[in-house]
């Protein structure tokens, strides 16, 4: 076990990212929110969302009581929307079960929706001064390289060993140390092209001594991501409004507003689309099916006018390929009778909680921001 705290803290004092907005506070709500937003998301992407979110929902009570649409709209574009739904549920648990205060023990904190061991530890260390170790992606990479751990980083045994290391190496000043190891991983010990000559741990790092910094963590080849396909409906009524549909609370886009969707990989539409997942086709039969299916389901008189070019969006566990079907609504628009359907002018639609691909489609209409 290689002691790293002393040189790491000295480096952090001189070079750390002390100006990050969530480093200007010891408030548990603000620290927790930052940790949730930073999960699988870059710091520069999080900054504007963090500021806007706090301006609108500055504390546990405000977040717990907010309409879900507002929470998702504030999160829209940040991705991984389960985090937003869990964040609101966590705020509700804090208000109902912990009298409006973040739990002050690890055992209680990890019971909050969306809060794992590392997230809970980061908040407890910074808000309450507890000696709690973290193991986010940056800290994990620093430990793997400094100790030359050449094992699958996602394997259970490797995770257990890394937690043992993290717990043993974390000093009493866990607040500063945790921020230091995160910054070292983000700024110096990066996933690709680590800057070993600038690293305060270079003289102690086993991977560096063995010339293996670029080879660690080991890359385990996994099966390619499965592909899914979808058609989205961009229907405009005589007033120029477009139709959005609220998705169920579960799933990748749970609770978000979306263009109505048809999936060619299941149901009757699959018979019209090649099962070997070639580019999504544009045929008279497919257009006719989509027009009739959406007209029937949405209770609209639709006329499809075009199918846009195929686009792609990559998720953590799969890749989505989609085309946008443009349509005109003839006669009166009656889809508003359903609680999950709503008409918006394009600029107003962009103010809602939207999946990133849908936001991209709507911005291309010319009303984007």
Query: Are β-strands 319-330 and 227-236 bridged in parallel, bridged antiparallel, or unpaired?
Result: parallel
DSSP line for 9-78: HHHHHHHS-TTSGGGG---HHHHHHHHHHHTTS-HHHHHHHHHHHHHH--SHHHHHHS-HHHHHHHHTTS
| Cα–Cα separations (whole angstroms), residue 142 to 12, 59, 134, 154, 213 | 14, 33, 12, 15, 10
* C-beta of residue 119 within 8 angstroms of C-beta of residue 34: no
> 300: closest CA among 358, 266, 260?
260
- Joined tokens for residue 21: 């907005």
Reduce the DSSP state of residue 237 to 3 states and report it.
Answer: coil
Reduce the DSSP state of residue 319 to 3 states and report it.
Answer: strand
- Considering the candidates 6, 35, 44, 292, report the single residue annotated as catalytic: 35
35 tagged catalytic:
yes
Look at phi and psi of residue 114 and say left if phi exceeds 0, alpha if psi is from -120 to 50, else beta.
Answer: left
* C-beta of residue 364 within 8 angstroms of C-beta of residue 321: no
Q: Could you give the angle at the alpha carbon of 217 between the alpha carbons of 215 and 220, nearest 5°?
A: 95
* C-beta of residue 208 within 8 angstroms of C-beta of residue 4: no
Which residue's structure tokens are 């690890």? 106
Q: What DSSP character marks residue 81?
A: T
Whole-angstrom distance, CA of residue 343 vs CA of residue 346: 9
Q: Could you give the angle at the alpha carbon of 222 between the alpha carbons of 218 and 224, nearest 5°?
A: 135
State the distance between the two ends of the chain, measured CA to CA, in whole angstroms.
51
**Active site positions, annotated:** 35
């Amino acid at each position: 076990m290689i002691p790293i705290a002393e040189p790491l803290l000295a480096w952090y004092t001189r070079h750390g990212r002390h100006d990050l907005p969530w480093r200007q506070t010891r408030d548990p709500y603000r620290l927790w929110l930052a940790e949730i937003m930073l999960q699988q998301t870059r710091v520069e992407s999080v900054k504007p969302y963090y500021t806007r979110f706090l301006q609108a929902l500055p504390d546990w009570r405000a977040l717990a009581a907010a309409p879900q649409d507002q929470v998702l709209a504030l999160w829209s574009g940040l991705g991984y929307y389960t985090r937003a739904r869990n964040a609101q549920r966590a705020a509700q648990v804090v208000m109902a079960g912990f009298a409006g205060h973040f739990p002050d023990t690890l055992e209680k904190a990890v019971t909050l929706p969306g809060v794992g061991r590392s997230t809970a530890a980061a908040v407890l260390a910074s808000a309450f001064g507890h000696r709690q170790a973290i193991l986010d992606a940056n800290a994990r990479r620093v430990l793997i390289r400094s100790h030359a751990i050449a094992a699958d980083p996602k394997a259970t045994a490797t995770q257990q060993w890394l937690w043992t290391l993290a717990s043993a190496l974390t000093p009493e000043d866990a607040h500063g140390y945790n921020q230091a190891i995160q910054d070292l991983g983000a700024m110096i010990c990066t996933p690709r092209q680590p800057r070993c000559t600038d690293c305060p741990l270079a003289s102690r790092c086993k991977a560096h001594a063995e010339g293996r910094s670029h080879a660690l963590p080991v890359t385990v080849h996994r099966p390619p991501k499965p592909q899914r396909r979808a058609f989205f409906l961009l229907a405009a009524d005589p007033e120029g409004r477009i139709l959005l549909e609220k998705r169920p609370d579960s799933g990748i886009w749970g609770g978000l507003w979306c263009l109505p969707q048809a999936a060619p990989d299941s149901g009757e539409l699959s018979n019209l689309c090649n099962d070997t997942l070639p580019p999504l086709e544009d045929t008279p039969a497919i257009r006719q099916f989509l027009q009739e299916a959406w007209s029937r389901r949405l209770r609209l008189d639709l006329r499809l006018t075009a199918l846009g070019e195929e686009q792609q969006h990559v998720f953590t566990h799969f890749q989505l390929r989609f085309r946008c079907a443009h349509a005109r609504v003839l006669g009166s628009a009656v889809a508003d009778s359903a609680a999950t359907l709503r008409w918006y002018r394009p600029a107003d639609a962009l103010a809602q909680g939207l999946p990133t691909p849908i936001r991209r489609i709507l911005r291309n209409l010319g009303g984007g921001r």
